[in-house]
Every structure is written in structure tokens, then in C-alpha cells.
Amino acid sequence: MTGAEGGSFPITYERVPCRTNPVGPRVTVVGGGNAYYMKAIFSNTVAGVRSASVTIGGERFPMERVNEGATFEAVDLGAPSGAVSFEARLVTGARVRWGNCFPSWPQDVAAHCSTKGGTQSGKGKKSGKGKGKKKGKGKKSGKGKKGKKKGKGKKSGKGKGKGKR
């Protein structure tokens, strides 16, 4: 890759803002339906989330990162009731707030809201925006022998492979 035989090579990193969607930052419940426990993921933010909290009925609960991953959880909530809000602190130091995200807790898995006012909760509801299968995106593997697809791996887009490598 570098053209050198081996050894150590200096590298540098530069923080760049993440690309975002116009719907604004979103919080999605990935573990819910339980008055005593919550797991959520924060997405569409300009930088990674460093810490988060949830407020239910005026009572604030810190959320802990789950296994150094992208989800955060709050445990031992004590079955609070009331409106649900979230706050996240990004690695840049900025704060993102989702006020009045849900009217009550608990919420089902996949319930979500964005900072630009979109809230969805409950089972089986669809938001109508950006959902469903995307058409015309992605590339299929090329025209191999007699039009057969090659393997079950990633889509190559070029069609110049010779089978397995």
C-alpha cells in the first residue's frame, strides 16, 4: 500500500464533522417496553456522543454507554411516569437536546424522535419519510460467466472478478 518494505509510518488524524440528514439529530429506543430499563441510540449528530441522560417526568437519569458501543442505557429507573426528554453531550463538547420526545414512558422498541419535531412511537406505525426499499442505489456484481452471480459477498460493481480469491 505504501510501497515500502516494512517498519513504522507516521499517521495523523483530523476530526471532521459527520454528514447529517435534514431531519436533525435522532434518538431511537432499541431496548424499551419496560418501565425500569431503557436502551437508546443517538444518530444523525455532527459528532460522536460522549455522554447522555434521559429525563422522565422531571426526574433525570444518567445513561451509560453499553460495552464501548454506540448505544446507551439507563437502568433501575423505578417506573417513572411523565414526558420523556433526552440530552447528549458530543465529543466536540456541544449539547443536543430532545425536549418532550415522548409523552410517557415506557415506549416500544423503535420509537424515535428528532430535534426537528418528528416523534413516532407505538407498534407498527410508519413515519412516511425515508422508509422502505431504496431503488437505484448500490451496484450488483458484474456480468460473470453466463450472467451468474459470483458468491454471496459484497457487491463489486465492476464485473471483472474471476470468482473466489
Residue 12 has pLDDT above 70, yes or no: yes
User: Cβ of 99: how many Cβ atoms within 10 Å?
Assistant: 12
Q: What is d(CA 98, CA 139) in angstroms, rounded to the nearest whole number?
A: 37
**Rounded percentage of the chain residues whose pLDDT exceeds 70:** 68
Q: What are phi and psi of 112, to 5 degrees?
A: -150, 165
Q: What are phi and psi of 15, to 5 degrees?
A: -75, 130
Q: What is d(CA 72, CA 76) in angstroms, rounded to the nearest whole number?
A: 14
Of the candidates 59, 67, 61, the one whose C-alpha atom is nearest the C-alpha of residue 38 is: 61
Residues 82-95 pLDDT 10s: 999 999 999 999 99
- Residue pair 51/88 in contact (Cβ under 8 Å)? The answer is yes
